[in-house]
Amino acid sequence: MGQEEWDQLLMGRAVEEAMRGRGGVEPNPMVGCVIGREGRIIGLGHHQRYGGPHAERVALGSCGESTFGASAYVTLEPCCHLNKRTPPCVPALIEAGIGEVVVGCIDPNPLVRGGGIEQLRAAGVAVRVGVMEEVCRQLIAPYVAGVVHHRPYVTMKWAQSADGKIAGPGGVRLQISNEESMRMVHRLRAKCDGILVGIGTVLSDDPMLVAKDQPDARPLIRYVLDRRLEIPLESKLVRSARESAVVVACENEAIAGSKADQLRQMGVQLLEADSIAAVLSDAHKRRITHLLVEPGPRLARAFFDGGWVDRLWVFQSQLTINDPAAPTAATIPDEYQLTGSTNLHGDELTEYLNPRSNVFFHPSASADFHWAKD
Ligand SMILES: NC(=O)c1ccc[n+]([C@@H]2O[C@H](COP(=O)([O-])OP(=O)(O)OC[C@H]3O[C@@H](n4cnc5c(N)ncnc54)[C@H](OP(=O)(O)O)[C@@H]3O)[C@@H](O)[C@H]2O)c1
């Protein structure tokens, strides 16, 4: 096997490893590491949990033989900064006698940005940068969204019938997806730390917006875009606001009224925000790294028009509603790239990436279904 093929194989394995950390490592990036020597993989690992050991240390610890002179393939530049929860990885690689470090992409965090590579080289370790670079950057898109663009990564998802309807006649709530799709949605919610809907959906569906039966779910902040504070006091969201955060984004006039006081007394947090940009900025301040938007057609169009979507998941069922009075799904912009699809006991889940997103680097996220199907 030639060097280039070997590089692709090992970095490809490191990317797969990294993806296993999704939903556990945030706000850190997902990172994977593979240690190889003389045509063999001798160790591998990934960053599993925020605050837990980084991929390089896990991979080094997994080697059953000496790592002296071996090559370490890391999807992201090893860290060198000290003001964080875990010790830096560069000294660990140097102490382990690693001969060469192959880096997927440079860490965009201003505290690192090339510093790890410099330290390795200064210690006499050979470093090559940029193997599968764009794929490795796509892997850390939520992290780039946070550290570079100060916003969460946005996944939008909806369910539609075979004839493109998202609800029953007049917008009445209907179970469109099958059980397997629903399970997948709850797995997806469990990997996110924010979820957002429009007031139209609250008024018609009265959703709870939680990740059901997911023991490893992250705390989920629930957002509603509701300009005039129409959210009913008896809605499930308001009634559960003390157990799990609910943020209602409204206009300036609404925030001073008596309804606002009632909502606050019930534990709802109010945010004066007149744009999606302002809501995303608030989500970033609350350390939300991955926001799941579950829109009706109006909110979906607003997110498309503003260019706020990074990734789209559409669940299409085999059910036909066949009623012109039932609302139709928003039109997916032509430029969106289909990156993968998977069959869920008859329903079809299709993933698209927005190539105009400032965290789009490579259409490689299709492999991203595996964690949700575990
Ligand atoms: N199948 C699915 O996956 C799925 C998912 C969710 C909902 N649904 C269905 O969708 C229907 C509701 O959809 P919908 O389109 O009426 O409502 P929606 O998308 O849930 O909410 C739209 C509303 O949000 C408000 N809003 C506040 N800030 C906004 C902003 N910056 N941009 C855009 N909207 C903003 C708007 O109120 P203003 O009018 O005041 O501007 C707008 O009417 C229901 O039938 C529900 O069952 C289906």
pLDDT in the model for residue 370? 58
pLDDT in the model for residue 374? 47
Is-above-0.85 flag for pTM? Answer: yes
- Ranges in the chain annotated CATH 3.40.430.10: 152-373
Residues annotated as catalytic (active site), given as ranges: 56
- Ligand 1 near 162 CB (within 6 A): no
**Nearest to 287, CA basis, from 194, 195, 215, 198:** 194
Contacts within 8 Å (CB) and 24+ apart, 62-68: 62/35, 63/35, 66/97, 67/35, 67/37, 67/42, 67/43, 67/96, 67/97, 67/98, 68/96, 68/97, 68/99
CA angle 103, 109, 114 (to 5 degrees): 45
pLDDT in the model for residue 83? 64
Architecture of domain 3-139 in this structure: 3-Layer(aba) Sandwich (3.40)
Give the ligand 1 atom nearest the CA of 197. 20
- Ligand 1 near 205 CB (within 6 A): yes
- Ranges in the chain annotated CATH 3.40.140.10: 3-139
- In whole angstroms, give the CA distance from residue 49 to residue 244: 22
**Nearest to 205, CA basis, from 182, 252, 173, 170:** 173
For 152-373, CATH number? 3.40.430.10
- Ligand 1 near 225 CB (within 6 A): yes
Residue closest via CA to ligand 1's atom 19 equals 296
- In whole angstroms, give the CA distance from residue 374 to residue 369: 9
Residue closest via CA to ligand 1's atom 29 equals 225
**Nearest to 241, CA basis, from 270, 266, 205, 211:** 266
Digits of tens for pLDDT over the chain (374 positions)?
Answer: 899 999 999 999 999 999 989 878 888 899 999 999 999 999 999 999 888 999 999 999 999 999 999 999 999 999 877 666 677 889 999 999 999 999 999 999 988 889 999 999 999 999 999 999 999 999 999 999 999 999 999 999 999 999 999 999 888 999 999 999 999 999 999 989 999 999 999 999 999 999 999 888 888 999 999 999 999 999 999 999 999 999 999 999 999 889 999 999 999 999 999 899 999 999 999 999 999 999 999 999 999 999 999 999 999 999 999 999 999 999 999 999 999 899 999 999 999 999 999 999 998 865 466 555 54
- Ligand 1 near 153 CB (within 6 A): no
For residue 238, report the distance from its CA to the centre of ligand 1, in Å: 18
pLDDT in the model for residue 274? 82
For residue 265, report the distance from its CA to the centre of ligand 1, in Å: 26
Torsion angle defined by CA atoms of residues 127, 368, 300 and 141, in that order, rounded to the nearest 10 degrees? -10
For residue 294, report the distance from its CA to the centre of ligand 1, in Å: 9
At 325, list the tokens.
Answer: 């009075």
